[in-house]
Structure 1
Amino acid sequence: MTTDIGFQTEVLVGTNIAAVTATVLLAGLKAVTPPALSRGEADITAMGEPDFLKQFIPGLTDPGELPLELNWLPDSDAEELLREMFAERQSRLIMIRFNMVTPRVTCSFRGFLRERTPTVPMEDGMTCAATFRVTSKMTWGTVA
């Protein structure tokens, strides 16, 4: 197994909140961090546990967030879509497509735009950080 660079990775979103396919490409993607699953825990330690050891059981799973960075143009289709998604306060279908492997691997889930932060430096490219909150189970698959 070899490691590859993330070049050509894409993030797509549904055209609206009812869409069942993610078809709108978020153009200008610079970086993406796939959601990290984490699990809570419940402390079930009772008085008198042997060996003074705490006892735990697994708790609920947090599906995480999808942070990404885009090249930012105030009048771009991607920026218009982000503003629309933020205003609607609803989850949409989101898909990460890893195009550097064959067959291409996808990760799909529903999520809402939690934050978007444009940055306009004096001597560098304008960017926008966006964070989507995952609201469903992630489904992994492949496409030809």
Structure 2
Amino acid sequence: MAGLDAFGTQLQRSDMAGSPTFTAIANVTSITPPALARETLDMTTHGSPDQYREYIGGIKDGGEVSIDINYDPRLHDPLVADLDDDEPRDYRVVWPGTLGSWEFSAVMTGFEPDAPHDDKLSASVTFQVSGKPVLTPGS
């Protein structure tokens, strides 16, 4: 298989209610899902075999999520309130069709609108993931 079509992928935002409802953020043109990473701890000693460094796994990081949107202040300005929240909010990336989802908590760290004289209103929004994302496989 050569690949999968990304068309239809959504970033959804929770209302944080007891039984949360997730709503797709409108007019998203590009989504960069959580960039998972892990630090390593150098365990090399003077006795390491053949003078090769040795490592073990360290702290993991859920990374950042970013989206680009066709900016509509009427639809997107309420999102700016997330920038004022100290507590993480729940979000999820829903893959197209039945490919599953990635759910995560995150703090919004950036909302950058752009209004060029010769193009559309757009904005870039960035989130820092807090904790471990939950990956739900599709069918």
**TM-score above 0.5, yes or no:** yes
Q: Which residue of 1 aligns with 2:46?
A: 47
Point out where structure 2 has 5 or more consecutive residues left out of the alignment.
none
Q: Which residue of 1 aligns with 2:118?
A: 123
Matched, 1:93 2:90: yes
State the shift of 1:115 in Å: 1.0
State the shift of 1:142 in Å: 5.6
SS in 1 for 2:82: helix
User: Is the contact between residue 45 and residue 54 of structure 1 (CA under 8 Å) also seen in structure 2?
Assistant: yes
Q: Which residue of 1 aligns with 2:5?
A: 5
State the shift of 1:83 in Å: 1.1
State the shift of 1:140 in Å: 2.1
Q: Which residue of 1 aligns with 2:106?
A: 111
User: Is the contact between residue 22 and residue 93 of structure 1 (CA under 8 Å) also seen in structure 2?
Assistant: no
State the shift of 1:20 in Å: 5.3
Point out where structure 1 has 5 or more consecutive residues left out of the alignment.
none
SS in 2 for 1:123: coil
TM-score relative to the length of structure 1? 0.85
Distance 1:117 1:50, change over 3 A: same
Runs of 4+ in 1 over 6 A off after TM superposition: none
Distance 1:19 1:128, change over 3 A: farther
SS in 1 for 2:110: strand
Q: Distance in 1 between matches of 2:71 and 2:32?
A: 18
Q: Distance in 1 between matches of 2:63 and 2:113?
A: 22
User: Is the contact between residue 83 and residue 109 of structure 2 (CA under 8 Å) also seen in structure 1?
Assistant: yes
Q: Distance in 2 between matches of 1:19 and 1:77?
A: 24
